Copies of this chain bind each other. A is one copy, B any other.
Amino acid sequence: MSLDSGISLKQIALTIGARLEGDPEKKIIGINTLRSASSQEISFIARDSFAEQLSETKSGALICSEDYSDKFSGNKLIGEDPYLLYAKCTKLFKTKLIREKGEVSKMAYIGDNTSISKTASISSFVTISDGVEIHDDVIIGSGVFIGPGSVVRKGTLIYPNVTVYDSVFIGSDCVIHSGAVLGSDGLGFAKEEDNWVKIEHLGKVLIGDNVEIGSNTSIDRGSVGDTQIEDDVKIDNLVHLAHNVFVGKGSAIAANSAIAGSSRIGRNCTMAGCSAIIDNVEVTDEVHITAMTLITKSIKEKGIYSSGTPFMKNSEWKRNAVSFKRLHNFITKEK
């Protein structure tokens, strides 16, 4: 199955679990949008808003639901959830960043008492500190630092220039993007008269299986006790998770969001971009927080939560914003 000569529609249908209408021998070399696809590429439609592009696309095949089966005359891969079929299809066309298995670069630094699987791949300028365990099929990109006693389990991919401090435990089949930092100290200080006394962070970071961590995301270690990310959590870029945070299984956190110290979010939650949770708060399962919302108290009931104001033209906004300053006085006066 070489990407150069393409993959047959028959093969794609079989792999992603779709029903094929069209030419089973047709070769596909990639995926593209309806607008840009060539006749050797496949496209997908998962929203009606793109339907008008169907008449003009040059796409060699379409992933779609039954609803579209008579709206598109070309080759079709049909299933109930075309977005899911598309997700599965992407895997067929992904070429890996680093391909060699079992290669440890001569330009890497390997400490004492490490355990590195023969099927792991370590790139140039990587530091593997004393006592580290690297399990089977792990791929570590160039410039990565893995601190003393940390563990990376089977099949995990760590992109270049990631920093993993000591005592960080990363599960299997995770993806850690470049610039992510796992295990830095939290902002923990006690006041002694006018001075800050640093609280040394003695806890660990525990990361489950199938976790994805975006680029330039920071996850602090626990101060006392651990920071914990359960299985199947998906974290975007530039996210801050403070010391002793807990993120429940299957939750997803979009970019530039932050969870402050010792707060916990449950399972299957979502935080949209630029949202935040203050410290020592507990959020139950299946809570969805909209973009740029600040959560300041525990949430015990599942649902969607929001804060902020709508955006407006600045001139109009200014008038309402000034009125907001008088809101309490106005409402109490009127009573």
Contact = CB atoms under 8 A, between A and B. Distances in A.
B322 A312 contact: no
- Chain A interface category by residue count: 35 or more
A304 B308 contact: no
Contact of A185 (B88, B142, B163, B175): B175
Interface stretch (A20-28, A65-73, A119-127, A132-140): A119-127
A126 to B, nearest CB: 9
Contacts of A86: 190, 199, 224
Contacts of A290: 314
Interface string A186-204: 1111111011111111100
A6 interface: no
Contacts of A224: 31-33, 43-44, 86, 90
B218 A218 contact: no
Contacts of A51: none
A145 B161 contact: yes
A255 B274 CA distance: 12
Interface in A277-294: 278, 290-294
Contacts of A153: none
Nearest to A288: B314
B177 A184 contact: yes
B107 A109 contact: yes
A7 interface: no
Nearest to A179: B181
Contacts of A328: 316, 319-320, 322-323
Interface string A95-135: 10100000001010100000000000001110100000000
Copies in the complex: 3
A320 B179 CA distance: 40
A200 B320 contact: no
A187 B186 CA distance: 25
B310 A309 contact: no
Contact of A304 (B141, B188, B314): B314
A9 B129 CA distance: 32
A15 interface: no
B84 A109 contact: no
A105 B127 CA distance: 12
Nearest to A274: B276
A44 B225 CA distance: 12
B32 A225 contact: yes
A321 interface: yes
Nearest to A305: B311
6 contacts: A84-B197, A87-B190, A91-B198, A163-B178, A218-B255, A273-B276
Complex A-B, nearest 9 residue pairs according to Cβ-Cβ distance, in ascending order: A163-B178, A90-B200, A304-B314, A94-B200, A87-B190, A319-B328, A145-B160, A307-B311, A218-B237
Given A32-B224, A163-B179, A305-B312, 15 more contacts: A31-B202, A44-B224, A83-B190, A87-B198, A124-B127, A161-B161, A177-B181, A187-B237, A189-B234, A195-B250, A238-B240, A304-B314, A306-B318, A312-B325, A324-B324
